[in-house]
Copies of this chain bind each other. A is one copy, B any other.
Amino acid sequence: MARVVVDVMLKPEILDPQGKAVAGALPRLGFTNVVGVRQGKRFEIEVDEVTDAVLAEVEKMAETLLANTVIEDFVVRVEDPSGATA
């Protein structure tokens, strides 16, 4: 079994109200070192094995279902189940 991760984030030019809300709450909780926060989605996709064909399929999945490519960017990467990027 292998894990392919798709990270979906709003494009930089798009306002991120959730990220702004988190960034706004941090000083009240005593966290002062933060310049900015952006929030997005993380998909962990379990596949039997990672091949070029499977990666191309995950790329297509991200384009058509996981991300709204008008306002979001996505990154596809292989991660071994321990969490380190392979």
How many residues on chain A are close to B (CB under 8 Å)? 38
Are the CB atoms of B41 and A45 closer together than 8 Å? no
Are the CB atoms of B9 and A65 closer together than 8 Å? no
Tell me whether A42 and B83 are in contact in the complex, defined as CB-CB below 8 angstroms, given that A22-B65, A35-B47, A65-B29 are known contacts: no
Number of copies: 2
Distance of A69 from chain B, by nearest CB (Å): 15
A80 located at the interface, meaning its Cβ lies under 8 Å from any Cβ of chain B in the complex: no
A26 located at the interface, meaning its Cβ lies under 8 Å from any Cβ of chain B in the complex: yes
Distance of A61 from chain B, by nearest CB (Å): 5
Contact of A61 among B8, B29, B36 (CB under 8 A): B29
Q: A9-B42, A33-B57 are in contact. List 12 more A-B contacts (CB 8 A).
A: A25-B65, A26-B65, A31-B57, A31-B61, A34-B46, A35-B46, A35-B48, A36-B45, A38-B43, A38-B44, A38-B46, A84-B85
